[in-house]
Amino acid sequence: MSREDIRVVLVDDDIDTCETLSSLLQFDGYSVRVATTAQDAITAVNEYQPVCALVDLGLPDFDGCELSKRLRAAHGADLVLIAVTGRSGDDEHNEAMAAGVDHVLCKPLSQESLRRFFPPRT
C-alpha cells in the first residue's frame, strides 16, 4: 500500500485549524482533502472516497452531527467518522455517537492525540 492510499477528509470551518491538521497528517504520510462546510464535506467524501473523515461538530451550514448522519447513511461502516469538538461533556459526546460517529476528540487536538488514530506511516 502506498502512502497516498490512506485518504482523509478534514472538515472544519476554521482555516487555521484545517491548515495545521492537514499539514500534520500529510507530514505523517496521509493524503488529505479539506472542506470548510458540511455541504463541501459531502462533496469531498463522495468524490475523494476517504477511509476517514474528521468532522468538526460546529459547522456554519449544518452541524457535524447532521453531517455525520448523512455520511453514515451514504457510506455505511466503510467510512470511519471522528468528531472533533471544542466542548467537553457527555451530552455532546452522546449526541455524536448517536449520529454514527466512531470516535470523539476534544479540541485543541495535539499531535499525540491525532497519532493515536493516525500513526505515522512508513
Neighbours of 106 (CB within 10 A): 15
Give the tens place of pLDDT for each residue, 35-68: 999 999 999 999 999 999 999 999 999 999 999 9
Does 14 reside within a domain? yes
d(CA 78, CA 28): 22
Tell me, what's the pLDDT at 1?
42
**Is 122 part of any domain?**
no
7 forms beta bridges with: 31
Q: Half-sphere exposure (CA, 13 Å, Cβ side) for 14?
A: 13
Q: What is the pLDDT of residue 88?
A: 73
**Taking 80 as the threshold, does the pLDDT of residue 119 lie above it?**
yes
Residue-number span of the structural domain to which 55 is assigned: 3-116
* CATH at 108: 3.40.50.2300
pLDDT at 93: 87
* Domain presence at residue 108: yes
In-domain check, residue 32: yes
Which DSSP category does 75 fall into?
A: H
Establish if 81 belongs to a structural domain: yes
Cell of 3: 502512502
For residue 43, being part of any structural domain is answered with: yes
pLDDT tier for residue 87 given thresholds of 50, 70 and 90: confident
- Structural domain total, the chain: 1
